[in-house]
A and B are shown apart, each in its own frame.
Chain A
Amino acid sequence: MKSKAMNRVLKSDVSEDAVRVFVAEDNAADVFWLEMVFKSSRLPYVIDLAADAASAKNYLQQFHQEPNIPPKIIFLDVNLPGPDATELLDCIHAASTVPVFMISGTEVPRHLRDRVGESRCLQKPLTNSQLLECLNSAGALTKFDGAYQNVPSTS
């Protein structure tokens, strides 16, 4: 049995005013790491998780519709099983302007870097500082001014 991530919602203990993010990631280790990084930041969070491209596409086709609550930011793993990342980007850009960050264990392919911009392509695993930078650039931290923790290293 492989340790694959599952489609689910991950939440902090306090989820009132939580930062909502969408993560499309099939690797359970990377999901576990990302949640640890969120916990270390002390931000209240809700992570909508899709473990394959088909589930991600399904989410992305509906997240902007009532009564769904759209995420502040989207993290897309480049190598998800199923439809290509370009198809997922098409779904997002057709419906919203939510910032998208491409994440990969290796270099993000050129066509995706061109599509989302170099600064929005990150190598896994994300550090606490990178996560906060992403959230900050998306304007997701304004209501938490100073009430989160920038931990230099989570290793």
Chain B
Amino acid sequence: MSWLQMRTMEISVVEDNPADVLWLKHILQEVGVPHHLTIARDGEQAVDCLMRKGCYQDAVAPDLILLDMHLPKFDGLEVLRKVPESEKMPICILSSSDHEKDAVSAHFRDHACYLKKPLSADEFLHALRFVGAAA
């Protein structure tokens, strides 16, 4: 039995672009991962989501968090700074540019998973391996 068949993965997605969320669902279907998605659509919701407070207080701890850098209200880097111990969370950074790469790397002490949008199935599997969910 592979890890894919073992349990439902809890995935939190911080993404304001509905096209990218739809695409992620398509990739998840392609990979065949049983999953439950929790979605946050701006910086404020992202902080609540990562800290599991507000409307996310009953959310299950995620196996993987995909965090887009460009968000309404405040950006992904600000989210990382506002959430205590975010550097220890199973976060993979999503972005369509390389601009924030240095700041993000510093936040995660050079141990960051950085994925370029739109995600491919291979990159999603790489993200799972990075956070240890596929081990």
A1 to B19, Cβ gap below 8 A? no
Which of B17, B18, B118: most chain A CB closer than 10 A?
B118
A10 within 8 A of B: no
A29 to B122, Cβ gap below 8 A? no
A116 within 8 A of B: no
B22 within 8 A of A: yes
> Which residues of B pack against A, CB within 8 Å?
17-23, 26-27, 96, 116-120, 122-123
| Residues from chain B with Cβ under 8 Å of A3 in the complex | 23, 27, 118-120, 123
Which of A3, A32, A124: most chain B CB closer than 10 A?
A3
- Nearest first, the 6 closest Cβ-Cβ pairs linking A and B are A29-B23, A33-B19, A29-B118, A125-B19, A155-B18, A3-B118
A111 within 8 A of B: no
B22 to A29, Cβ gap below 8 A? yes
What's the least CB distance linking A78 to chain B, in Å? 13
A7 within 8 A of B: no
A105 within 8 A of B: yes
Within the complex, which residue of A27, A32, A105 is in contact with B22, where a contact is CB–CB below 8 Å?
A: A32
What's the least CB distance linking B57 to chain A, in Å? 24
B118 to A1, Cβ gap below 8 A? no
Question: Given A105-B96, A125-B17, is A36 in contact with B118 using a C-beta cutoff of 8 Å?
Answer: no
What's the least CB distance linking A23 to chain B, in Å? 13
Which of B23, B122, B123: most chain A CB closer than 10 A?
B23
What's the least CB distance linking A28 to chain B, in Å? 5
A28 to B118, Cβ gap below 8 A? yes
Smallest CB gap from A34: residue in B? B19
A143 within 8 A of B: no
B17 to A27, Cβ gap below 8 A? no
Within the complex, which residue of A2, A33, A36, A125 is in contact with B120, where a contact is CB–CB below 8 Å?
A: A2
What's the least CB distance linking A125 to chain B, in Å? 4
Q: Can you list 13 A-B pairs, Cβ within 8 angstroms, ordered by A?
A: A1-B120, A2-B120, A3-B118, A3-B119, A32-B19, A32-B22, A33-B22, A33-B23, A36-B22, A105-B17, A125-B17, A125-B18, A125-B19
